[in-house]
Amino acid sequence: NSFCTLLANTMAQTIRIVHLSDTHSCHGEIEQRFGPLPPADVLLHTGDFTNDGTDEELAAFDAWLASVGDRYSAVAVIPGNHDWRGALHGLAQGTLDAATVNSGKYLKDRLPHATVLMHETLEWGGLRIFGSAWDPWQCSADPDRSTVDQHKPGSALTAAVFGRRKAWEAFAAAEASSNAPKKEADGDDEDPSDTAADAASLLHPAHRMRLIPADTDVLLTHGPARGIMDDVEGSHTAWGSSLFLRRAIEASRVRCHLFGHMHEQRGVWQRRDPTEPYTGGVEYCVRDGEPPTSTPPPPPAGDPYPCRLICCNAQLNHTGIEGISQKYTGAPRLIIAFRDADDEPWAFRVVAHF
C-alpha cells in the first residue's frame, strides 16, 4: 500500500491490475483463502478458469465474475486449454459448429460479465491490453505442434483430438480462402479451391500469434514463451511454451507479459530496462519448506528482450507432481502500471501477493 501511495503521489498516471490464472473452478475459494480482492482498476484472468469447460462450470465462473466485477472498471479474460474441453466435445458430437467456437462467440455468450479477448485489444486509461487467447486446436504440451501430430497413428481418436482437428481445419480453410489470390478465369479445368488448399497447408497452429500488435503494453497469453518459465519439474524440459510466441513478443516489443499454464513455474521476473538484470524467480514449491523448483534464467542484462515484467501466476498446485488434490498455493497478484506522461512508455511492478 505504501508503494502504491508513493506512485500515486509521484507519477501522473497509475493503473492497478489484479492478475489471476489457473483457478480451475476454485474461484469461489480465492477470498476465503486470501481475503478480499484489493481495490484495483482492471481484473485480468489468463485462462483455465474451469477444469473441463462445461456449461455448468462456465456459468459458475460467470456468476463469480458478476459478484466481484463491480469493484473494477474493466474485467477481461482469455481462455486456457481446459476451457475449450466442453466445446471440443461439442464439435466432436456435431452439436457445435467450428465457426462459433473459433470466433470466440461460444465463450463470449457464456461469459457476459467479462470481456473475452479472442486475439483482441482492450484499451483502458491509455493502457493497451492484448489477449492472445489459447486456440481450441492447440496442444497443451506444445501449442506450436500441428494437429496431425496430436495422436499416434492407429491409436483411438478421442473426442478432444477430433474436436481440435475440426476446429483447426475450419480455421485453416477460412484463413486460406480469405488470403488466397484470386484466379483468373482462363478456361482451364483446375479446381479453384486448389490455391486455398495450398495456402491452408502452409498455416501453423500458432498462426494467430502474428496478430499481437506492435508496442503492446500488456500481453495476456495462457502459456509461456519458449525458454522462459517453461521448465517441467525435475526434467529441465520445455513444456507448454511457444517459440512462435517468443518471436512475436520480441517483434511487437511487448512490455508486460502475463500468463499461467505452468503451475510449477509460478513466479515473477521484473526489471526497469534491458540494461539491468531481472530480479525475482520461480516461487512454486513442490512441498512446503522445499526450495523453489529450478528454472532457466531469464534473458541477461543487455539482452534486448522487451518485457519489463514477466509474470506466471498459475495459482493452484500441480496435483500430478504433488500427488494431492487441488489447493491454492499462489495468491492473486497486484501489479501497478505507471508513467509520468502520455508520451512515455508504461513501467510495471508487482507490488503485492495479498
Separation between Cα atoms, residue 224 and residue 239, nearest integer Å: 9
R_g of the chain computed on alpha carbons:
21
Q: Where are the alpha helices (DSSP H) in 145-239?
A: 159-179, 194-201
Tell me the pLDDT tens digit for each residue of 155-206: 566 888 889 989 998 998 888 877 655 444 444 555 545 554 555 555 777 7
- Which residue in 334, 335, 333, 330 sits closest to 26, CA to CA? 330
Q: Which pLDDT value is given to residue 96?
A: 95
Q: 13-140+204-350 in CATH: which number?
A: 3.60.21.10
Of 1-15, 88-102, 152-166, 252-266, minimum mean pLDDT range: 1-15
Annotated domain spans of the chain: 13-140+204-350
Other Cβ atoms closer than 10 A to 208: 20
Which amino acid, residue 78?
I
Q: Which of 27, 24, 19, 29 is nearest to 48 (CA)?
A: 24
C-alpha cell at position 165: 482437428
Residues 244/208, Cβ–Cβ less than 8 Å = no
DSSP 225: B
- Read off the amino acid at residue 185: A
Provide the β-strand partners of residue 267.
282, 312
Asked whether residue 50 carries a pLDDT value surpassing 80, the answer given is yes
Cβ-contact 68, 28 below 8 angstroms: no
Average pLDDT, the chain: 86
